[in-house]
Amino acid sequence: MNTRAAAAILFAALEPATRSAAADFFEGKTITISTYGAPGDSYDLYMRLLSRHIGRHIPGNPKLAVVNQPGGGGLTAINHAGVLAPRDGTFITVASQGLIIFEATGQRGLQASLGQFNWLGSFTQSNNVTVTWGDSKTKTIADAVARETIVGASGAAGGSSVGPAIYNAVLGTKFKLVYGYEGGAAIDLAMQRGEVEGRGTNTWASYVSVSPHFIKDKLIVPLLQVGLQKDPALPNVPLLRELARSPADQPLLDFMSKAVAVGRPIATTPGVPSERVEALRKAFDATLKDPLFIQEAEKERAEISAMTGAQLAQIIKELIEAPPEIKARV
């Protein structure tokens, strides 16, 4: 009995120390949440939503501050996170889906491998869509093959650039990219002004949350959706994986579809101690199940279909380490 009592006392003494390791660090700190999206776009919406709820789930209840770092289709923000930001758990960022393809294909400009980041999870696995504005003559993907269609894009690493470039090469579309828009909201405004006919890539969930009137009033026309399966709301919009023109194209289109499945991938910086990474992963998971978070997400029409940090890290690893012949083709 004495031995058992001593063991119980020892366990009770050690348990708080173990549980408070992350709390001791985060208490009194401010965690910076970075979004590469410009104010008002969907990435900005999701990250600000996260900032209002995740703090109470992180040990030590740190404060949260949001910063916008647009530029380069996500390169500016991810390079800051990978090279300049603190490596202690006090910096969280969101990566553009296009960056994963960007790194896998050996493009220049990425200063830290995405494989080095500590992935916390993803908000949503919503399909990407390529759309045109309602008055464009391009109404279907067949139309996009038949005629040149001008679409807006951010920078070279953004999904709005990478997607249409691959569709041109593999599907035979004639999308003409206009680069340099600060973010999704700027591209949407350019469509409305008639500067461009469409937007290269955006998640369907983003239109639902940020611009629901585009859907309700039929102001946009979805030409193509990219994901592992069709969105229930878009049963008549072709899925990229179904459009392979030859067996050699299928692995490439599957690669693209898997890259989109990462949704809105959230990470802290490389080099963060493992116990803090685990604390942040648990906090992210708990936040997405928090009734207050869910209530606000529903109010903002923000789709939530969560992916864990471990699942996300595995997908990113598989994409970066895909067979060389597939990456070369991409």
Q: Which amino acid is at 200?
A: G
Q: Helices in 52-201 by DSSP H: which ranges?
A: 75-79, 97-104, 141-146, 159-171, 184-193
- Let me know if 102 is exposed, middle or buried by CB neighbors in 10 A (0-12, 13-18, 19+): buried
Sheet holding 63-68, edge to edge: 63-68, 30-35, 91-94, 265-268, 118-122, 307-308
Strand partners, 226: 128
For position 5, what pLDDT does the model report?
55
Task: Return the pLDDT at 3.
Answer: 57
Q: Locate tokens 């969930």: which residue?
A: 205
Q: Calculate mean pLDDT across residues 64-81.
A: 92
* Chain centroid, CA 104 distance in Å: 16
Per-residue pLDDT, averaged over 46-73, amounts to: 94
pLDDT of residue 17: 45
Beta bridge partners, 224, equal 130
* The pLDDT of residue 132: 97
Q: What is the average pLDDT across 120-140? A: 94
Given this model, what pLDDT does residue 160 score? 74
9 — phi, psi (to 5°)? -65, -40
Which amino acid is it at 174? K
Reply yes or no on whether the pLDDT at 12 is more than 50: no
Q: What residue type is 267 in one-letter code?
A: A
- Kindly report the length of the chain: 330
What pLDDT, on a 0 to 100 scale, did the predictor assign at position 47? Answer: 94
User: What is the chain's alpha carbon radius of gyration, rounded to the nearest angstrom?
Assistant: 21
